[in-house]
Amino acid sequence: MGKKYYYARVSTKEQKLDRQIDIFKKMGATDRLIFSEKQSGKNFEDRTVWQELLTWIVPGDTIVVKNFDRLGRNKKEVKEVMISLAQKNIFIESIDQAYLNEYLKENIAGTKENENFSDAMKEFFFQIMLDMDLLRAEWERKETAKRRDEGIAAAIRRGVKFGRPLNKEMREKFKELYPLTRNKDDFENYRSVKSVIDELGCSKTQFYLLKEEYYQNINKK
């Protein structure tokens, strides 16, 4: 597994780098892994700190930026930089566009065997522009569900009770129905969360309580 380096940039001397650097440090970055500069430059060859960073990274490493726009002055330049890094098997992660990080990593890795790498990457980045809103929406849904589940789990650990007591029959029925919500590819047997809630006659909160109990019991086995 490669190292992570952090790149912060502002385009004028009047702008501050502090916010980007503070975010990197909160993520665990040390000073020696953070490269920062105040430079607009007509191209990346003029950015001395960026050029220094390129001397440190090796294939498999990752460069973290707050936003992909830190890589260039416009979409064309950002795309060219990302393609150039991908050709060297260097990955890029964005904090603001975290919903794209795994998508980028998987697809960049998938192009390595392609004979015409540059054309494949150009097509890939064009597709990103088309998919960006869908990718962001899916990532936001997952993050919302994750925070909700974590909140309910924390409440359970604190002994908080939600609604009426759950009975044995409801728990047994949940064990039977819940797995059907996990596989959307099984069209015949797939059940939506809403349909399971309706059949159980429980609230959404109770559904997620049952879900937490379900995984707690699996982990005990």
* CATH number of the domain within which 81 lies: 3.40.50.1390
Judge whether residue 118 has pLDDT over 60: no
pLDDT band at residue 152 using 50, 70 and 90 as cut-offs: low
Boundaries of domain holding 212:
161-220
Whether residue 122 has pLDDT greater than 50: yes
Instruction: State which of 82, 111, 131 marks the end of a domain.
Output: 131
In this structure, is residue 205 part of a structural domain?
A: yes
Q: Are residues 88 and 181 in the same domain?
A: no
Question: Do 127 and 165 fall within a single domain?
Answer: no
Distance CA 57, CA 49 (A): 13
pLDDT at 29: 94
Q: Read off the pLDDT band of 91 (50, 70, 90).
A: confident
For residues 193 and 119, state if they share a domain: no
Is residue 126 within 8 Å of 83, Cβ to Cβ? no
- Residue 151 in any domain: the answer is no
pLDDT at residue 156 in the model: 63
Select from 131, 149, 182 the last residue of a domain.
131
Does 122 lie in the same domain as 26? Answer: yes
Over residues 173-209, the pLDDT tens digits come to: 989 999 888 877 777 788 888 888 888 888 787 888 8
Instruction: Give the mean pLDDT of 58-80.
Output: 84
Residue 146 domain-assigned (yes or no): no
Instruction: Give the 3-state secondary structure of residue 191.
Output: coil
Give residues with Cβ within 8 angstroms of 183, minimum separation 6: 189, 190
Q: Say if residue 92's pLDDT is above 70.
A: yes
Tell whether the model's pLDDT for residue 130 goes beyond 50: no
- Order of strands across the sheet with 62-65? 34-38, 4-10, 62-65, 91-94
Most confident of the following: 31-35, 36-40, 179-183, 205-209: 31-35
202 near 169, Cβ under 8 Å?
A: no
Neighbours of 6 (CB within 10 A): 26
